[in-house]
Every structure is written in structure tokens, then in C-alpha cells.
Amino acid sequence: MFGLLPLLFALTIAEISTLAEAPFAPLTTWPHLLGAVGASLLAWLVLGEIAARVLATRGERRWLSRWDWVVQGLVLGWYAWVCFGWGWSTNAKIGGIRFFLVALAPWVLMQAVHWWTLTVAVRRVSNHHWSRVGLIIQQFRFGTLPMLLILPVFDIGKFIAVQYDLERLWFSGPWGALLAVYCAQGVMVLLLLILPLALLPLWGAQRMPPGEMQRLMLRACERLGVRVAGLMRWPMSGGRVYNAAVIGMVPRLRYVLFTDDLMRDLPAPQVMAVLGHELGHARHGHLWMYVLFANAGLLLSFLLREPFAVMLVPWFERLLPALGVTAVTDQVHILAQATAALLMMAVMWRLAFGVLSRACERQADLAGAELAGDPQVMCDALKSVAHLSGQREDEPSWRHYSIAQRVAFLQAVRQRPEIATWHHHLVRMMRHGLIFVIIALLFAVSFLLDPQRDLARDPQQALKEWVVRDPGLGQALQAADLGDHQPLAIWLNRSDSEQRKSFAMLVSNQIILEMGVDAEGDRRFDDRPIYRWRHRLMAFQNVGTGNPQIDLELDNELAYGLVAGTTEPTAMDLQVARNILPRLIKHLVGSPSDHATHDTVGCVRFAQGEFAMAVTSFEAVLKAFENESARSSATWFSSEKSRRQADKQRAHLQSLYSQRLDAARSNAARVLAGTPPSDPGMLPLPRDLGQARPEPSTPGTSTIEASGVVP
């Protein structure tokens, strides 16, 4: 039924689809986009109502479950088209920022429509008079509320990070990617720790009134050695629900909840068995095991999604044309990434987590039998819940064994108590295995994202080694250094995103190396290497790396180098920079404090003779730069050398930005007085061109040839 697994699939689709800046069949205006989504919801409202009435005539729970699985698959397929085809995730922004809750809105609405229509069939099958609204609320409460509570926290955090440019300040350095992974893991655990504080009021949970039953239950908690913050009533509206749950990973925030129907209709011994089951989850640390599994799944997906996607790209390149779908390389690769992520998630959660969850549920059943004093009491409690809920005892579940299987296991334990010992050992081995896997994955991610692994290598030597492995790259680099970047663009098109990202890093490191160092050992302020390597950067204009942040940095570096890395930019240079400008401006809508991008926009406008607009950009540069300097000045944990270098760079940039603003104001005033923007007397753009240095190769000679990379 509606729950965790479909939501995880939907989140994966929403996250990866944000990389697709070019949807397959984009609806560019909100009226068209909302109209298409609304028409889909209305169509499903009609079809779902018809299907539900057919299911109601059959009156069999298995057909209801099968239909729900089919619908969940159809809804996810529709939602994938809404995101990848119509571009919902690309357009669903507030203030230029994509929010998870906005991106998930079509999927959530379609789920609500599905359960609205299915109420007729659920009433017939369960013999409970559910209201339509009550059933929808019930499904959201049980299935997705914890996750939907966590997502707004990440959305708010993202909003704050954008407003104060924290992502660039904290996570853009050499260790930024690794720090982001660790921070995300830590924030997730912290949110899960405090989640009960939000769930209890939203679920309307109330403390169980004092009485004999409450005293017995509290003594039972002491017997099993499980501390709890409280025993809670769990009121439900809209229909009968027989359920109990334990929430909270630490004793001070651990609560056990019982629905009123369960407390009323089950005999006291069976209620105690159910309590023992829930306390068993806490005693054996099952919630912590689930968190370990979730984090392991995230890390594993991070490591394997890209290699798996590369394997799927050729298949999509053959499939899409056969279906009559025209797609560029980036679209194909992003589609392959989404498919890889969904397949891995299906294997990890539907299969691997199913095995773990079923083992934990059996261990919890053993705790319930222990507290009841007789496994048969736990068996009777399971049968009672199934009967009162209208559930078949042989009905399968991906997270639990069927009631019949659970009863058979407990009866086997009653005959052979050593089976319980074996099962406890099995779960203990699973726990140790999860800890080992988490540690191994953290080491793997740390190695993959270790900046020293790439920064410590000589980019020229790395390129030589790459060319030996792939002679086609050497030929493409030769052509690029002679002024033709098309062969390199073709090579990038044929490469996977990891290769593109690695090549982009090598090019950036090569530019930094070309800048050299001054007498004090600090990096020189020299933008000419960007212009010298412009054709390698231009190759990325036709194909992305798969990482929007890297693509933005490449755009910014190229546009800046074309106008600020030389005193005489050509008409073609200005045209390329002009083509990049809209993407940079779009980025600044969501990141107004990015002074480097503001500076690039100002330089491009200055070079085009748009001096008044350049003034606006350079004023924004100085404002953003001053704000950043005020925030970053309190780096007490930095070394003396790092502080000296940072102060030196800030002083230099402050001076350069001020000079550019003064030059733009002077030229704008002259244009206002009637002087043409192309007048030779206009002040030139202040540039960082360093001291005279020899070019890396003679004119008309490939740098790759000159350095001996290609024989």
C-alpha cells in the first residue's frame, strides 16, 4: 500500500530530474504545466472510480493489493514523465530555488486522488466504513508523514544556504563535496532523533490514562529493560485501525503508541504481547539498524549510480530512436542515471531491506512471546489483529512475513527453543555486517572525494597518461589547441559524465598551474591562462558534465576568460561570452551573493559596450563581496598562512572590483554625454594579466605536441 517505497522512488525521480535542464517535451508556462497535470488528475479520478467499483464487486483483498501495486507503478511512470518530459522539477521553483515539497506536489496529489477513488473498494473489502478523507489521512499518516516532515527541514536549509551563499562558502572548497556528504548523513540522523517531538502532536497522540493496565505495561517495560518516555493513545478517525508502534531512537524520546481499537478489542494478555513486540524493536536496536541501512543505501547509490548509468546509456541510445524519441546526449545520460538509481533502490529496499525488516520483525515477535510468557499468546494476538483488520493470514508483505508464517515460526520456537537463539544470532550478524558495510562505504566515499588525490597530480602528466590510454583524446586536444574545439566536443559527447568531470578538473587544474606563484609562494593573479586554454573550455558548451555546479563553473570560467583574459577579444569570443550570459544571470537569481559570477556578467557587459548595465553588475559585485568578507573574516580556525593568503586575495579583489566599477561609471557617463561606446578613448576593462610570461607553445603548434604528449 501507499508508503515508504513509492515515496523513495518519487524522491529519486524528483532529485535526478532537476539535472535535466532540457525536458523531452517541455511545457514552458505555468498555465500549460498546471493544466496538463490537472487534466491528468481529472482523468485518473474518473478511471480510478470505475476501477474501484469493479474491485468492490469482487470483494477480495488480494485484488485490491494487486491493483494498488499496479497503480503505484503507473503513478511513478506518470510522475517521471511530468518531471522529465514536461519539466515540472525544472520549473517548480520559488525564488529560483527548487524545493522538494514543490517538486513532489504532482505525485502527492495523484496519490490523494488514487485513495479518494479507492475508498469504495476498501470499505467493501475491510468491512469498515471509511470516509474518503479519513482514508487519505490514514495513508499519509502511516506511509509518508515522517518523510514529509523531514523534507521541509532540508528545503528550509537549502533556502537559508542560498540566501546567505553558504553552499559556496562551506562546500565549494577542495573538501566541499566530502563535507556535504558527511553533513547530510549527520543532519538525517539528528532529524530522526528529534522526529517524535513532531510526530506525536501531528498524530494527535495522548498519554495513556493512569490505571491498572498502564501500570502493568510500565512494569513490562522494566522487565524487558527498555526505558520509554511514555505510553500513548493513538486515536484514529475515519475507520477502525488495529496497530501499535514504537518511535524514538533514544530513551528520553521513545514512545510506544496503541490505537484505541487495539486496546479495546484485544484481550489484556494479547495487548501485553503486542507491547512486547514493540519493545523488542527498541531493545534490539532495530531503529538504529534501519538508519544504518538507509545511510548505507545512500552511500552505495552515490558510488554505483554513475557506473551503472554508463552501462545503460547504449541501451537507451538504441531504445529512444526506436520509440521515435529524439534526445540529446545529456538527456539520455540523465535518463540512464534515473533508471540506474530506481533499479538500485528497488533492489536495496524492496529486496535487501525486506530481508532485514522481516528478520527484525521475527525477533520482535520473540520479544512479544517472552513478555507474554507463552509464544501461543503472541500467535493469538497476531491472528486477532489479522481477523479484526479484515486481513488474510496468508497475505504477503514485503516488510513482514505473512501472519501464517509468523505464527508457524513462533510455534516452531515453542517446540524447539534453540531456534530463537539461532535467530538472535542471525540478526546480530546482520547488525555487525551493516556496521562493517557503513565503515567500508565511508572509506570508499572519502577516497573518491579526496581532493588531494586529484590536486596532488600534475595535470599535464595526468593528460599524458590519459592520451596513452585513449589516443582519440590526444587528437582532439591537438585540434582544440590549434583552434578547433569540435573534435574535443565529440570526444566528450562519447564519454560518460565521470570522465567529463575528471577532464574538466584537469583543465581547471592546468589553468591554475599555468598561473604560477609569486615570490611569496602564493598563486599569481593572472587570467591569461584561461584565454590560452579557451578552446578546451569551449568544448563543454555542447555537452554538460552531469553536474550543474561544475557546468556553471565552466561557463563562468570561459565567459570570464574570453573577455578578461586578453586585451583584444575577437568577435567570436564576444559572441560565445554573450551566449553564456543568460545562464549566468539565471544562476544569480537563486544565488545573488555570488560575487564572482556577478563580476563575469559585468565584464561581459563592459566588453560589449553596455556600460550602464556593467555598472549595475559591478555594484552588485562589491556588495556581495563585502558581505562575504564580513562573514568569512571570522576564520579563527585557519592557519596563519591561510589567513594571510585570504587577506591578500581579498585586498586584491577589492581593488580590482573597484577599478572595474570606476571604469564602467566613467564610460557610462561618456556614453550618456553622446560618445559612442566604440570610441577608442573609452577606458579599457581593468584586467589581471600578471607579468610577461612565455606562451606555452609557438603559434600554430599544438601544446600537446610541444609537451610531448602525442608522438
User: Can you list the pairs that 281-285 forms with residues at least 24 positions away whose Cβ atoms lie under 8 Å?
Assistant: 281/246, 281/360, 281/364, 282/226, 282/228, 282/246, 282/248, 282/254, 283/224, 283/225, 283/226, 283/367, 284/360, 284/363, 284/364, 284/367, 284/427, 285/431
| The pLDDT of residue 176 is above 80 | no
* Span 382-409, average pLDDT: 89
Higher-confidence residue of 468 and 456: namely: 468
Provide the pLDDT for residue 378. 96
| The pLDDT of residue 3 is above 70 | no
Question: Which residue's C-alpha cell is 558510488?
Answer: 303
Q: Considering the chain, what percentage of its residues have pLDDT values greater than 70?
A: 85
| 569: its cell numbers | 577579444
| 469: its cell numbers | 590510454
Which of 110-119, 402-411, 625-634 shows the lowest mean pLDDT across its residues?
A: 625-634
| The pLDDT of residue 421 is above 90 | yes
**What are the φ/ψ torsions at residue 351 (nearest 5 degrees)?**
-100, -65
Provide the pLDDT for residue 594. 85
| 19, 304, 311, 643, 693 from 333: Cα distances, Å | 10, 15, 10, 42, 41
Higher-confidence residue of 178 and 221: namely: 221
Q: Which range, 97-101, 225-229, 502-506, has the best average confidence (pLDDT)?
A: 225-229
Question: Which residue's C-alpha cell is 511545457?
Answer: 27
Nearest Cα neighbor of 102 from 113, 91, 116, 86 is: 91
Which of 13-27, 41-55, 329-343 shows the lowest mean pLDDT across its residues?
A: 13-27
Average pLDDT over all residues of the chain: 83
Provide the pLDDT for residue 382. 95
Higher-confidence residue of 295 and 635: namely: 295
| The pLDDT of residue 558 is above 50 | yes
CA distance 78 to 74: 6
- 220-251 confidence digits (pLDDT tens): 999 999 999 999 999 887 667 899 999 999 99
Which letter does DSSP use for residue 685 in this model?
Answer: P
Tell me how crowded residue 519 is: count the other CB atoms within 10 A of its CB: 6
Provide the pLDDT for residue 217. 95
Provide the pLDDT for residue 693. 39
| The pLDDT of residue 59 is above 80 | no
Contact between residue 107 and residue 11 where contact means Cβ atoms under 8 Å apart? no
Provide the pLDDT for residue 432. 96
Provide the pLDDT for residue 326. 63
CA 261, distance to chain mean position in Å, is 39
Provide the pLDDT for residue 47. 93
Q: Are strands 230-234 and 255-259 parallel, antiparallel or unpaired?
A: parallel
Provide the pLDDT for residue 335. 80
What is the DSSP secondary-structure string of 204-230?
T-EEPPSSHHHHHHHHHHHHHT---SE
Which letter does DSSP use for residue 683 in this model?
Answer: P
| The pLDDT of residue 366 is above 90 | yes
| The pLDDT of residue 103 is above 60 | yes
Higher-confidence residue of 367 and 190: namely: 367
Provide the pLDDT for residue 601. 96
Provide the pLDDT for residue 314. 81
Is-above-0.75 flag for pTM? no
- 600-636 confidence digits (pLDDT tens): 999 999 999 999 999 999 999 998 888 776 555 444 4
Q: Is residue 610 classed as helix, strand or coil in its secondary structure?
A: coil
Higher-confidence residue of 505 and 222: namely: 222
